Amino acid sequence: MTITAAADGSALGNPGPNGWAWYIDDANWGAGGSPHGTNNQGELQAVLELLRATAGTDESLLIMCDSKYVIDSITKWMPGWKRRGWRKADGAPVLNRELMESLDEAMRGRDVKFEWVKGHAGHDLNEAADERANSAAKAYQQKVEPQRGPGFTLGGSSADRPATARPATEPASTTPPAQLWAEASDLLDSLNEASETTSIELRIALSPTEHSRLRDRADAQGISLEDALRRLI
């Protein structure tokens, strides 16, 4: 079986508030973004998040993109970039290197093929991904929490699915992140700091989806991942 998905990105202002989304069907999709980025960064992030979300499956993956830049970067140019220390043929540094390196790592050992589709041409999967990526970009523009989707729920029992994946019937939260984080901050403000004499180190393993959501929240607030975690206490 081959999993067929579309991945797309969006940026309002390019650069500006940006969004990414991947879409398989209404029960399997994910979206997110950042307060500031380019369209190409959104396109690359969409593919990266799709690869991360499906990392636990052995099925082959067909990714449909309307960005030839993304497809060519991964399938044609990346081997040469790596040989030259992530520099282009003219010696200039590769743009979006961090994303490219993450994509290179996520592709290892995977059976992945890409197919170019024309954007805004009525392709069902592409249109669904584009709509969600654009909605995420608008959410960051309005400083509200984007609709992130149910994640990847195909294959295996519910016990095998990521803890962050919501059932397809569960409505996505529309609560602005500022409200959620303000409530967490209120909890912190109510702590009696004088009673704390020592610090306790806590380590937690996050899934790629959980890490992505935490990173998006931290970026939206302009804080570190550690501070974002603290605000959730």
Q: Residue 170, CB half-sphere, CA atoms under 13 Å: how many?
A: 13
User: Which pair of tokens denotes residue 207?
Assistant: 């899934």
Residue-range definition of the domain harbouring residue 34 = 2-169
Reported as a single tens digit per residue, the pLDDT across 190-233 is 333 333 345 566 667 777 667 766 777 666 555 677 766 766 66
> Taking a C-beta distance cutoff of 8 angstroms, is the pair 94, 101 a contact?
no
- Compare 150 and 199 and report the one with higher pLDDT: 150
User: Which pair of tokens denotes residue 34?
Assistant: 């950042």
The 3-state DSSP class for residue 151 equals: strand
Domain annotation covers residue 223: no
Distance CA 7, CA 120 (A): 13
> Taking a C-beta distance cutoff of 8 angstroms, is the pair 146, 32 a contact?
yes
Reported as a single tens digit per residue, the pLDDT across 56-95 is 999 999 999 999 999 999 999 999 999 999 999 999 999 9
Domain annotation covers residue 86: yes
Distance CA 32, CA 18 (A): 9
Domain annotation covers residue 33: yes
Which CATH number do you get for residue 50?
3.30.420.10
Domain annotation covers residue 208: no
Domain annotation covers residue 192: no
Burial class of residue 196, CB neighbours in 10 A (0-12, 13-18, 19+): exposed
Question: Annotated catalytic sites, by residue?
Answer: 8-9, 43, 66, 120, 130
* Whole-structure pTM value: 0.69
Domain annotation covers residue 110: yes
Domain annotation covers residue 190: no
In this prediction, residue 228 carries a pLDDT of: 66
Closest CA to 22 of 57, 47, 54: 47
Q: Which residues contact 7 (CB under 8 A, 6 or more apart)?
A: 20, 21, 22, 23, 43, 46, 47, 50, 63, 64, 65, 70, 129
Q: What is the DSSP string of 75-111?
A: IIIHHHHHHTTSB-TTSPBPTTHHHHHHHHHHHTT--
Domain annotation covers residue 24: yes
Helix H segments across 123-189? 124-141, 177-189
Q: What does the mean pLDDT of the chain come to? A: 81
What is the enclosing helix (H) or strand (E) of 218? helix 208-221
Q: How many domains does the chain have?
A: 1
